């Protein structure tokens, strides 16, 4: 069902037996890891022998290594490359997400969540300062409108844990729906100076042991309440009196638009941060927004999935793939190495957004990890050339091994590249 070949490179499945690849695997270069010298091609050689691994490498658009390149695999967080590309082509790198703030007829301040993926504490400082300049009066309370997304939104693959990568996705999400806490001496403090401790954060901290913790806000309802509390604290810091009232629902009829706050970070900065830190909330915020029609609400998760599927079919003419979320959390996602390499090639003009491999600035790539799944895809520079590579393994593989695979490609002799 999934293994439909693309038009280009249909006859390359035996390339790993070519003289160029044999030359690569026989290289005498050494890579040292933990004091143990290993042949430079060892990781690549192992990948090419595994039935549960797919790998494809291209130089200047020409395939030079292929192993099970059309086999559908779980992409894990390399799915974020596809989400990033879709966002770039939808909005452009200069786009800035906006959040609307209204004053209700009864004097309450209402914030309508717009899915801004980078609404962090520093942005709330700027928002509060702008509202102060707008002459906002004393407020009885804060209302939060999270109606852009459907209630009880369930992202496939998200687990019920405290880990930041399992944070809920909400239309109004501050600090990626996580809190950073310090528990010591029987008390709870904020672990970052720019973020005041709110009642919700305090309650979460009271059940944690001593030390520093970054935990997620667990549910959409809790995340929205925390957003309202944190904005209220920022408004008080800006000199605006705010009561402790809190409401959720739709912005009331007759409310006045006070401010359309545009995030100081552009999409370029959003994507760079998302890929560097593999932020699941940011990726799935973008995924859902890509499924919104004409700036309206996201009807349901299936609508977002279908919107991304339709875009992929138009953009790449793929068949036999499956997309269930934008972060790669779901084990239902399926991409082949060839399809993933299509994405890498399309991202080549934006390669500065990809993380630099630690210890090797010649490699810009994104890793992906789920239990029993290891993936790696990106670009490696050799002289004046950039080679695109994609590796998907349905087995555990250490980050060090994935880095050594890219190192193999970056350190091969110039003569090998000239055989392309």
**Is there a common fold for 15-90+287-417 and 98-265?**
no
- Give the closest residue to 388 by CA, choosing from 349, 334, 331: 349
Q: Cα 157 to the chain's mean position, in Å? A: 14
Q: CA 151, CA 395: separation in Å to the nearest integer?
A: 35
Helix (H) or strand (E) holding 304: helix 301-316
The model's pLDDT over 343-370, given as tens digits with 9 standing for 90+, comes to 999 999 999 999 998 888 888 999 999 9
Contacts of 11 (CB under 8 A, 6+ apart): none
- Residue range 288-305: average pLDDT? 87
15-90+287-417 has which fold?
A: Beta-lactamase (3.40.710)
The model's pLDDT over 93-117, given as tens digits with 9 standing for 90+, comes to 999 999 999 999 999 999 999 999 9
- Residue range 272-280: average pLDDT? 96
CB–CB of 384/26 below 8 Å?
no
Q: CA 352, CA 268: separation in Å to the nearest integer?
A: 10
In the chain, where the domains are located: 15-90+287-417, 98-265
Which CATH number is 98-265 given?
3.50.80.20
Helix (H) or strand (E) holding 269: helix 267-277
* DSSP character string of 170-198: -SS-BGGGEEEEEEETTEEEESSTTS---
Whether the full predicted model's pTM is greater than 0.75, yes or no, is yes
Is the pLDDT confidence value at 420 over 50? no
CB–CB of 387/378 below 8 Å?
no
User: How deeply is 336 buried, as exposed, middle or buried, from its count of CB atoms within 10 A (0-12, 13-18, 19+)?
Assistant: buried
């Amino acid at each position: 069902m999934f293994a439909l070949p693309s038009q280009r490179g249909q006859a390359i499945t035996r390339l790993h037996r070519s003289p160029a690849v044999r030359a690569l695997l026989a290289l005498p270069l050494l890579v040292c890891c933990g004091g143990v010298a290993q042949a430079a091609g060892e990781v690549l050689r192992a990948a090419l022998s595994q039935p549960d691994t797919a790998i494809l490498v291209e130089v200047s658009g020409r395939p030079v290594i292929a192993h099970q390149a059309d086999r559908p695999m779980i992409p894990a967080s390399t799915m974020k490359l596809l989400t990033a590309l879709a966002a770039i082509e939808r909005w452009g790198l200069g786009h800035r997400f906006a959040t609307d703030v209204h004053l209700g007829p009864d004097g309450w301040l209402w914030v309508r969540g717009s899915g801004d993926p980078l609404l962090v504490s520093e942005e709330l400082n700027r928002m509060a300062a702008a509202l102060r300049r707008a002459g906002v009066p004393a407020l009885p309370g804060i209302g939060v409108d999270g109606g852009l997304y459907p209630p009880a939104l369930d992202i496939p693959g998200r687990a019920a844990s405290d880990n930041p990568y399992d944070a809920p996705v909400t239309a109004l999400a501050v600090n990626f729906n996580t809190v950073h806490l310090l528990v010591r001496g029987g008390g709870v403090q904020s672990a970052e100076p720019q973020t005041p401790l709110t009642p919700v954060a305090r309650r979460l901290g009271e059940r944690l042991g001593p030390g520093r913790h970054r935990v997620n806000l667990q549910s959409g309802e809790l995340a929205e309440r925390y957003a309202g509390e944190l904005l209220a604290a920022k408004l008080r810091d800006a000199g605006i009196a705010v009561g402790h009232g809190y409401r959720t629902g739709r912005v009331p009829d007759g409310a006045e638009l006070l401010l359309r706050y545009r995030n100081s970070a552009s999409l370029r900065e959003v994507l760079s941060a998302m890929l560097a830190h593999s932020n699941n909330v940011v990726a799935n915020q973008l995924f859902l927004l890509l499924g919104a029609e004409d700036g309206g609400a996201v009807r349901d998760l299936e609508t977002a999935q279908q919107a991304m599927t339709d875009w992929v079919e138009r953009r790449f003419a793929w068949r036999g793939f499956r997309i269930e979320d934008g972060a790669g959390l779901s084990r239902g996602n399926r991409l082949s190495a060839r399809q993933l390499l299509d994405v890498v090639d399309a991202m080549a003009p934006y390669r500065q957004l990809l993380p630099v491999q630690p210890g090797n600035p010649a490699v810009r790539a994104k890793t992906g990890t789920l239990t029993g799944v290891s993936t790696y895809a990106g670009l490696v520079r050799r002289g004046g050339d950039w080679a695109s590579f994609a590796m998907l393994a349905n087995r555990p593989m250490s980050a060090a091994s994935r880095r050594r695979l890219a190192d193999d490609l970056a350190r091969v002799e110039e003569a090998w590249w000239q055989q392309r």
